[in-house]
Each structure stands twice: as structure tokens, then as C-alpha cells.
Amino acid sequence: MTFQQVYGYEPAVRYSAPGRVNLIGEHTDYNDGYVLPFAIDRRTVASIAQREDRLIRVASAFEPDAVHELSLDELDPSRMQGWSAYVFGIAWALREQAGADLSDRTGFDVFIDSDVPVGAGLSSSAAIECGVALAFTDLWELGLDRKVLAKVGQYSENHAVGAPTGIMDQSASLLGEQDAVVFLDCRTLDTEVVDLALEANGLEVLVIDTRVEHAHATGGYKARRDSCERGAEVLGVPALRDVSVEDLQRAQELLDDETFRRVRHIVTEDQRVLDTVETLRADGPRAIGSLLVASHESMRDDFEISVPELDLAVDTAMANGAVGARMTGGGFGGSAIALVDREGRERIATAVTAAFADAGYREPTVFTVHAAQGARRDA
């Protein structure tokens, strides 16, 4: 299905935005901490044409028989349902969060297509949000920069979609650059592009999609966020970003065991992000493997967001020569990543697939990704 087949004419322009892989820094974003994601070479494309009325119509390749409609005069989360909320929510958030005046704007016909896997922890949702946000901002001539658009995407996902996520995914999708990671301070929103230099070092990132789908809007993610907020309140800090590794002994005395372990993950994960940036700059990507593994162990044991399939993927990759491996994304399913030598990629992929078969799990989808450019106008 294409834009032309749905609407009967050709689109005026196409925008695209990538999914993301988070190299390290999981669940730290909504704790005002640090993250280190990169945009990937899997993209969502929004084909768009402006209308003469105030209607936004949305269709997609993954729901080819449905066209969702909403007037700019009726924008409200209560009127948004299903995946189309990722599009309508952006228009609403541009008005509500960024203060855009939409009173004299016309609507759009929008068609979404994507090769970012859904439910794999690669942020297919942010890819939609960021491509649409850049398109609407350009076509409505709103003059908003990409850091503002990241906030718009997060606001939409939190309040229109109902998923309590941080700002990492949108920042990676909007600010990513080729063969580089985005070092993001989620409190100040200061960003720095750090060379990843995988190509020069003969390395690749292997994504192992367990095909165990997760849903951020459901309980597990929210429960972890609630634990973090409770921990910060007891410790008397604005956010867990303000707790250091040296503070953990005191935290253990004040918190119940579960809340302490949630706090310990965030505090040590923030430190691992800082250590990874320093290591990349000083020693290159081959030196970060132990940090990736420590991150996975923390998510498995302290934050308890891994699943057996993710653990098997990480363990098998490491046993077969990966430099480092960890689950990536919000958890409760999704994907693991493995940093691998280019010549060892197929061996590790084959070993992981065989291990899943032996365990009776669904066959994983295994593929490489490369750090890529962020959201852009394509045509």
C-alpha cells in the first residue's frame, strides 16, 4: 500500500526518522540522568501532502485498510486511539507543549511506512513521532529547533499515547549522526556527538530481536518509574541523577530492598554512561565490552526488566566471542545488542539462533545496524 493508493494522488514531500539503539544508559532518562543512544539505519517514512481544510488524515502500510481522521479543531488525547495517536498527538503537542498557534493552519494527508521493527525495543514509536514532528514544523513554518521537537515528541508519548517514557528516544532520532553516539544529559538537554568509530575498528552492532513484544504503556515500565520517584523522595533529592555511587550505602539503610535495587541500577548505570564516554574517547569501542555486560547484569538483577530470552541472547553472544552485549530498550522483551567483530558476526548470529531453538523459544530476528543520520526531509 502507498500514499497514492490510499489517497488517489501523489504526496508532496517525504520525511523520515530513524529508530534507535541505546548503547548504554537504560531508564536513566526519566531520572534526569545520562544516556548514550545512536540513530540506526532503519527508518520510518512519512509521506505527506497539505490539505485545504483543517483535517488530518492518517494511514499506514501496517494497517492498509484504515484511514484515521481528526480535525485540528478537535485535537485532544481522548479522541486519539491506536497507533494513529503517534501522529495526531504530535499536532496536539506542538500546540500544547511548544505553544504553536494552529488556529489558521490547514491539515495534512499522511501515510506512514517503516522498516523499524515494532516491539523490538528500537523505538519505532519515536521514529514516527520525530519524522512527523519535523514535517509538521517545516510545513507549518513553526521555526522550532530539534531539541524543542524532542520535548514535543516526549510530551506526546507521555500524554497523548500514555507511555511514561523519557526524552532519550526522540533525542536520538532527531540528533543522531553517522558512526556516532549522542551523549545526552537528560536534565539540561545538553548533547554532544561522540565518535563511535566502529567501522575503523572492524566492529558492528548486532541486534537480536527476541520477538518477545513489550508494551511501555502497561504496568512494568510505570512500576519502575514509580520506584525511582519514591527512592528520590525518600533520599531528599530532585531525581536519582543527584545520587552518587558513594551515596548507595546510605540509600540502602533508608530504602526497602526492592526500591534500593531499583535506585542502585539507576545510580550505577549513570556512572557506566560516563565511563563509556570516557573509554570511547581514550581507548575506542573495543574497550567498552565489560561496561555493556555490567549494564545487562544490573538490568537483570537490580531493575528486573530482562526476560529469559534476552539473558540467553546476551550469554550466547558473549560465549561466542562478542566484545560486549546487553539488552537494550525499556525491557520486558524486545532486543539485545552485541558488539561483535565484523568477521564473527555470522558465527554469533548462528549460535544465538541455535540456542533459541534448543531452549524452545521463537526464532529470533538477528541483523546488524549502523549509526546513522537523524530525522530529515527526503524529497
Is residue 120 scored above 80 in pLDDT?
no
The Cα 48–Cα 111 span in angstroms is 7
Helix pair 146-156, 124-139: axis angle to 10 deg = 120
The Cα 275–Cα 41 span in angstroms is 26
Residue 217: its pLDDT value, please?
A: 45
DSSP-derived secondary structure letter, 72? G
Residue 284 CB partners (closer than 8 Å, separation 6+): 197, 201
The Cα 203–Cα 198 span in angstroms is 5
| pLDDT tens by residue, 261-274 | 999 999 999 999 99
Is residue 2 scored above 80 in pLDDT?
yes
Looking at per-residue pLDDT, the higher value among 330 and 48 belongs to 48
Beta bridge partners of 56: 70
Residue 166: its pLDDT value, please?
A: 79
Q: Give the pLDDT band (50/70/90) at residue 118.
A: confident
The Cα 343–Cα 71 span in angstroms is 53
Predicted TM-score (pTM) of the model is: 0.89
Over range 8-22, report the average pLDDT: 96
Over range 308-312, report the average pLDDT: 97
SS3 state of residue 306:
coil
Does residue 332 come out as left (phi exceeding 0), alpha (psi in the -120 to 50 range) or beta? left
| pLDDT tens by residue, 346-357 | 999 999 999 999
Q: Is the dihedral of CA 331, 335, 339, 344 positive or negative?
A: positive
Q: Judge whether 169 counts as a catalytic residue.
A: yes
Residue 117: its pLDDT value, please?
A: 80
Q: Kindly report the backbone phi and psi dihedral angles of residue 5, in degrees, each rounded to the nearest multiple of 5, phi listed first.
A: -70, -35
Polymer length of the chain: 379
* Burial (0-12, 13-18, 19+ Cβ within 10 Å), 219: exposed
Residue 352 · residue 314 · CB < 8 Å: no
Residue 200: its pLDDT value, please?
A: 96
Is residue 110 scored above 70 in pLDDT?
yes
Residue 20: its pLDDT value, please?
A: 94
| pLDDT tens by residue, 197-256 | 999 999 999 999 999 976 554 568 889 999 999 999 999 999 999 999 999 999 999 999
Summary mean pLDDT of the chain: 95
Q: Which of 75-79, 331-335, 340-344 has the lowest mean pLDDT?
A: 331-335
Task: Catalytic residue, from 29, 109, 113, 169: name it.
Answer: 169
Residue 219: its pLDDT value, please?
A: 64
The Cα 267–Cα 288 span in angstroms is 18
The Cα 328–Cα 101 span in angstroms is 38
Over range 290-294, report the average pLDDT: 98
Centre a 10 Å sphere on the Cβ of residue 160 and count the other Cβ atoms it contains.
Answer: 25
The Cα 379–Cα 360 span in angstroms is 45
